Structure 1
Amino acid sequence: MITPVTTTPTSGAQQSTAASQTSAITSDFETFLQMLTAQAQNQDPLEPMASTQYASQLAQFSMVEQQVQTNGLLSNLASTLGSVNLNELAGWVGMDVRSTSAFHFAGNPKTLFAQPDPQADTTKLVIRDKSGTVLDRITVPSTKSEFVWAGVTSSGDPMSAGNYTATLENYKGGDLLSQTPAAAYNRVVEAQVGGDTVMLTLSGGQVISAGDVSAVRTGA
């Protein structure tokens, strides 16, 4: 995954909170020991408290102590992760990202990227609409990996604005060797955390995972 912004914030407030929680636990434990000592000194000698009761009280306090420490650690972790996610999300918005998802055409020529098969002697760029219908099949140089699509049909009529996909077909001796999805740049208009990854909404409404991004550049 390409991430435009990587931050690892260190919060002094979080460290202060953790320190105060540790201090409070230590103080409470000392108070507990004083109470336990006073309880032992003032117990009825005819009906002394069983040692198992002391052990039970110590175990209960230990459980509370561990829970307080766990809650503190989880709180600090959640704050740190939340800050990192927000900074990372903000870094995506407004960037142009390259992926093999559908690309948005708004009337201007679109640059497409696809690596031809080294064995191919003929390559064709196939343009499809959002429903998958083939709109055009253009013969392109088999030695190039970057192509400019003018956004017009084979008869020269302009395509309507919308989302399209492109595939590079590789041929040898007239036989189809392989098909390679072509990539294009799209502007990121929204970024959000989805499960364990960052999901990006592109200018054409497409939603992709940040893991599907192969290149990033500053939005014009």
Structure 2
Amino acid sequence: MHVSSATQPNTSGTTQGSAPVLSSDFETFLKMLTAQMKNQDPLNPIESSDYATQLATFSSVEQQVLTNDLLRAVQSEIGAMGMSQLAGWVGMEAKVLAPAQFDGDSIDIATYPLSTADSAELVITDADGTEIHRFEIATDSEILQWDGTDANGDLVPHGQYSFAVQSTVDGAVVETLPAEVYSRISEARTTNNGVYLVLEGGAIVHSQDVTGLRAAD
């Protein structure tokens, strides 16, 4: 089990310092607004609606800054408390759009052909991008298994393989999309950019790219 953590950004200073900064800016804004009112042309006074617009604009910016600070604080808290939860991910299988490691066991693949397709094929390529096998699948296919054999029925070497679903309508290929696979998680990492998962075989994906989790067989 491997859960590691990179240096997290210090958001506490930003959050605590925002209020004084905004307060100071608001006071400056009021002084400028007062000066604007004093120095306006009496024959062509500024409309009250213009003042309201300026105030609303400043208020909107102020609220956005406060919201951003709050989000950073929440993200920091999640990163700090998430390590124990991440430990539970290690050893599980993640459903992700990434190459899968074949070590002799069948690989579960999520295949979703185009709904209007007449026929569909699963295309399998090796780490070099060379096609090693393709075979027809049901147009309503979802999860299926690849047993690790190539077009000749021989077992392929251990390594990473990618999968794509090719949908055909009236004999013409209309869509080719990468297919998600279930891969075992070997490590979880927290970084400044979020949580990353290292999959069996070395592929690295962001936690946000995980669309499913299940216990390993």
- TM-score bracket for the superposition, by shorter chain length: 0.5 to 0.7
Distance 1:215 1:189, change over 3 A: same
Displacement after TM superposition at 1:89 (Å): 2.5
Q: Which amino acid aligns with 1:173?
A: D
Residues 151-177 of structure 1 deviation map (CA, whole Å, 9 limit, x = unaligned): 111211111111100000000111111
Match of 1:204, SS state, is: coil
Residues 21-78 of structure 1 deviation map (CA, whole Å, 9 limit, x = unaligned): xxxxxxxxxxxxxxxxxxxxxxxxxxxxxxxxxxxxxxxxxxxxxxxxxxxxxxx999
Q: Which has the larger radius of gyration?
A: 1
Distance 1:155 1:77, change over 3 A: closer
Match of 2:160, SS state, is: strand
Aligned residue runs from structure 1 range 156-167, under 5 A: 156-167=153-164
Which residue of the partner structure matches residue 167 of structure 2? Answer: 170
Indicate yes or no: 2:130 matched with 1:133: yes
Measured in 2, the distance between the counterparts of 1:142 and 1:81 equals 41
Distance 1:78 1:142, change over 3 A: closer
Distance 1:103 1:90, change over 3 A: same
Q: Which consecutive unaligned segments of at least 5 residues does structure 1 have?
A: 1-75
**Deviant stretches of 4+, over 6 Å:** 76-79
Q: Which consecutive unaligned segments of at least 5 residues does structure 2 have?
A: 1-72
Indicate yes or no: 2:82 matched with 1:85: yes
Measured in 2, the distance between the counterparts of 1:124 and 1:80 equals 45
Structure 1 contact 97–186 (Cα < 8 Å) conserved? yes
RMSD: 2.1
Measured in 2, the distance between the counterparts of 1:218 and 1:159 equals 26
Identity of aligned residues (%): 29
